[in-house]
Homo-oligomer: A and B are copies of this chain.
């Protein structure tokens, strides 16, 4: 088992990564939360079907009545209504400031349960138990949120978990397309920060089947290490943290313009990363081997160009309305080299030109 320490201004907490470590949950709660009055597991229908019984029986070793609240699977659960329902359940069951919430699931569960924990009685502890590869990323860093009908993640907070327990075995039940989606974020962490890790990835991971056991554990450990370094320097997204947005400006626009759920987050980010590499090569007159990277991406089945049916002008509009845009100009994260990022303002007409060039 690997252990990583995430240090942010507001909290320092451990992340445990390994195989068959779910059984250590009671010990993790004990080590990271003070005098726990009640434990509430928030999970979604799909995850609960496979893992909830096991988690509850593990919790029973230490707690009398572990509680659980199950939300529907999918992005639509990150709603005001579901947020309110979680709060109501927590109050009805008598949770207090010494209670802890466990988020058992992917990013949706982590975001919603985290925001419930962030705001229940002005904030109680929570522990992330990610069940997807994508959530290795979202579970660390404390960004929690729900959606508003006018935008994703518009209502939220920064609320760090007390611990993250990442059991590699839980990935076994993950569909390949979800595994691929999460892998995009792993690649991103290599590209923006760690050339050695990035080289290791290109050599050791050449098919989705490589993403298991020790290799998967190493990939998660290295990926999260980058995330941990970035959020430790910039918890509240005021500077450095923006580099985590590499591939996301176009990625988010493609996701939104396709209609959420039509394309996975990671597939959108994969296209966005290739685009960012191409733009970087063009602007800085450098060679980042974008064509080779594109070929490597296709080994996993990642899409590597913008879906034909999407209108470039509409994508540009979406990119301009990103939550990170403050002046109306698109800010893109570009690379000067593998591991070396630049935040670049790009004029609309230039960006539209690149979008039209990009195949």
Contacts and interface: CB of A to CB of B under 8 A. Distances in A.
A290 interface: no
A350 B291 CA distance: 79
Copies of this chain, whole number: 2
B326 A118 contact: no
A10 interface: yes
A113 to B, nearest CB: 15
A121 to B, nearest CB: 6
Contacts of A91: 148, 150-151, 154
Nearest to A9: B10
A354 interface: no
Interface stretch (A155-163, A171-179, A184-192, A206-214): A155-163
Given A88-B148, A91-B151, A120-B155, 20 more contacts: A10-B10, A37-B326, A88-B149, A88-B150, A91-B150, A96-B323, A96-B325, A96-B326, A97-B323, A97-B326, A119-B156, A120-B154, A121-B154, A121-B323, A122-B156, A122-B236, A122-B237, A123-B157, A123-B158, A123-B236
A80 interface: yes
A284 interface: no
Contact of A121 (B37, B96, B156): B156
Interface in A27-59: 35, 37
Contacts of A120: 154-155
7 contacts: A10-B10, A91-B154, A119-B157, A122-B145, A122-B153, A123-B158, A157-B157
A87 B91 CA distance: 24
Contact of A87 (B119, B143, B148): B148
A119 B151 CA distance: 14
B97 A158 contact: no
A122 B158 contact: yes
A166 to B, nearest CB: 23
Contacts of A151: 91
A97 B158 CA distance: 14
A260 interface: no
A121 B326 CA distance: 12
Q: Which 10 A-B pairs have the closest CB atoms?
A: A91-B150, A122-B156, A98-B326, A119-B155, A122-B157, A96-B326, A119-B157, A80-B84, A122-B158, A87-B155
